[in-house]
Structure 1
Amino acid sequence: MEAFAGRYQLIDLVGIGGMGSVWRAWDLRRSAYVAAKVLGQHDAATLLRFVREQSLRIEHPHVVAPHGWAADDDKVVFAMELVQGGSVATLLGDHGALPESYAAVLVDQLLHGLSAVHAARVVHRDVKPANLLLDATGTGVPHLRLSDFGVAGLLDEPRMTRHSTILGTPGYLAPEQLAGADPDPRQDLYAVGAVTAELLTGERPGTDGKLPHVDGPLADFVRHLTAKDPSDRPDSATTAGRLLAAAGAVPSPTTQPWLDTPDTPEVFNQLPPLPPTWTPTGPRTRNSPDLGSHQPARPPHTQPPGPAAAARAAASPEPGANKLAPETAAGHRAPTPQPAAPPERSRGSGRGMWVVAVGCFVGAVGLLGSAVWLLVR
């Protein structure tokens, strides 16, 4: 099998997103499976967003950020860790409303991830269930990872889109974000509040800004995070984490209260079985053990959907819900972000050299500031 740009062997398609397709791939340099997002020819604005996304490198257990990229002819690809459990949108579609304790663990992990993102002076701007990936943990403690930084904004940096362009997903956007305000971490916190309401009720926020009604210990938490005036929201993800802890909904690390509920949430391995020429440890060789392509978890959609899943399936699908299916609070502190080392890069041939050149050029122009506006006008 020929490797893309001499590095990534694309194995099978696992998702389709707004900016390209997502493949399970084998990274020859790392000798590991990765998720590879492949983009074809795009306009300048999309290319700028791509170059900026692959420049992010935030090392945190609850963040999935690109760690390498390559270009070949008229296509580009960037790679990130392969997450097997699908997204929170998948979980909600299969299960519906989640137990309060389970939802609180997910939100707590999301706030930890956002603490690291914001500490790196990045605003995600598209926090929603489809961009929250899950490890395949079964009925155990879930492990969430924030992904897809394609429309992320950098604090105190020139805007890469016109003021009239609204980036993000309706229903999860703060009012000032809809009005075209500059990136602000409190916009992400509004989205966290909207996501929390969805986790607890199984209902998506309305595109008109109306949120599902939430009762119980997390009602005040949702109300504070989704305040229309950003000054009425917590000033940081760390402060929001303390507010979540004060609600008393996050269970201790040694307990799993959701196991006692009638319908326990379960996160399955959502990836299809590997092709016969591949094994869990890489390409099949003559000396490979005869493990076939069996996966430790069952393939997706083998469980008949319940009433909640059927009702959600009848509704319009959330935009970008299949973008990447390869996708405590007490004393909550922002983890120290790692230095933003440039992602690894592999060069292809032909027009790929042009894409690499554009990436370097955009990086340089970004440092100059005002010149970026010339690229997007």
Structure 2
Amino acid sequence: MNALAGRYQLIDLIGTGGMGSVWRAWDLRKRTYVAAKVLGQHDAGTLLRFVREQSLRIQHPHVVAPHGWAAEDDKVVFAMDLVRGGSVATLLGDHGPLPTAYVAVLLDQLLHGLSAIHTAGVVHRDLKPANLLLEVTGTATPHLRISDFGIAGLVDEPRMTRHSTILGTPGYFPPEQLHGADPDPRQDLYTVGAVATELLTGSRPAPGTPITPPPGPLAGLIQHLTAEDPAARPATTFEAARLLAESGALPAANTTPWSDAPEPPEVFNQLPPLPAPWTAAGPPRQDGRDREPGAAPRSTAPSSPVPRPPSNRRLLAWLAAASFLGALALAGAATWLLLR
């Protein structure tokens, strides 16, 4: 079992996306399972987005952001916490529309995580059920975690291009994002309203059409969040959380009213069993015998020292090239403005 960059042993593929594949992996340094996003040969712009994603080390119980990275040859890997309950999209597919109280709890956690993201000066720009992961909680109170910062933007950072590339997922982003607006936290709040509508109805919002809140205690909040004019939306996540609290949809603390439903929402472990010879304690022992599940972490140490990760000079070269291309683009834009 060769470890990527001398640190991450890829075990099995658990997801794919437009900007890389996600693997269950064993972190030799931390001696734990992690989710490893692997990037292959892509253009410099994509690489820079991944480096930015890796830099978003926002520590919050409702956010899962990369906490380590390594590079080897033509691959870059970013390590994140391994979240086992699938996504909110998975839950919707299994259950259909969710109870109002359950949705209110998810929205409350989403707004708390989003508050930490916005406080860090970041706009996510791609909130949707597939990017909202869930810890395994059964029918108890859910635990949501925001993931996938691949197209996140920084507040007050203007876009270099407009109208040519639309960032985000149709049906979820606000009208101004369609027209290339600069990153603004209120764009994420619009998306929270779109997601809330889908959680309550089970139907994905139709691209290019106004959001129609379903009747119920969350209708007023959704209407504010999805206002076409950004100035009419809540200015911050704190204001949105206040409106949520005032809606009366949140259940009392430590209660789960949906548990009394005939088929309450249930978050299962969505990961397949570990392939042989992997165990709950990590990789097989060097003497060829598997460990017993639950063995002490000290017993997972390999018999030989873990090699140091190889030099990341190739990654640095790619970044240098990307910086050079960015400088050329800026110079070209400045020249164009002077010659107008």
The TM-score with structure 1 as length reference comes to: 0.79
Q: For 2:151 and 2:123, how far apart are their aligned partners in 1?
A: 9
Q: 1:33 to 1:244 in 2, by over 3 A?
A: same
Contact 2:44 2:318 (C-alpha < 8 Å) held by counterparts: no
Q: Does 1:172 align with 2:162?
A: no
**Count of aligned positions:** 317
Alignment-mate amino acid for residue 95 of structure 2: H
Q: From 289, 292, 308, give the equivalent of 2:292.
A: 289
Task: Return 202-211 or 243-252, whichever deviates more.
Answer: 202-211
Q: For 1:196 and 1:57, how far apart are their aligned partners in 2?
A: 26
Alignment-mate amino acid for residue 105 of structure 2: V
Q: From 300, 304, 310, give the equivalent of 1:348.
A: 310
Q: For 1:121 and 1:373, how far apart are their aligned partners in 2?
A: 25
Q: For 1:106 and 1:27, how far apart are their aligned partners in 2?
A: 30
Matches within 5 A, 1:140-155: 140-155=140-155
Residue 134 of structure 2 aligns with which residue?
134
Contact 2:44 2:319 (C-alpha < 8 Å) held by counterparts: no
Q: For 1:192 and 1:92, how far apart are their aligned partners in 2?
A: 16
Matches within 5 A, 1:255-294: 255-285=255-285, 286=289, 288-289=291-292
Residue 26 of structure 1 aligns with which residue?
26
Q: What SS does structure 2 have at the residue aligned with 1:282?
A: coil
Q: Which has the higher contact order (CA 8 A, sep 6+)?
A: 1
Residue 123 of structure 1 aligns with which residue?
123
Runs of 5+ consecutive residues of structure 2 not aligned to the other structure: 296-307, 334-340
Residue 37 of structure 1 aligns with which residue?
37
How big is the alpha-carbon RMSD for the aligned residues of Structure 1 and Structure 2?
Answer: 2.3
The TM-score with structure 2 as length reference comes to: 0.88
Contact 1:159 1:373 (C-alpha < 8 Å) held by counterparts: no
Alignment-mate amino acid for residue 39 of structure 1: L
Q: What SS does structure 2 have at the residue aligned with 1:197?
A: helix
Q: For 1:347 and 1:190, how far apart are their aligned partners in 2?
A: 42
Matches within 5 A, 1:246-257: 246-257=246-257
Q: 1:144 to 1:174 in 2, by over 3 A?
A: same
Q: CA deviation at 1:160?
A: 5.8
Q: Percent identity between the aligned chains?
A: 68
Residue 202 of structure 1 aligns with which residue?
202
Contact 1:186 1:235 (C-alpha < 8 Å) held by counterparts: yes
Q: What SS does structure 2 have at the residue aligned with 1:137?
A: coil
Q: For 1:135 and 1:221, how far apart are their aligned partners in 2?
A: 26
Contact 2:171 2:208 (C-alpha < 8 Å) held by counterparts: yes
Runs of 5+ consecutive residues of structure 1 not aligned to the other structure: 293-345
Contact 1:85 1:267 (C-alpha < 8 Å) held by counterparts: yes
Residue 304 of structure 2 aligns with which residue?
none
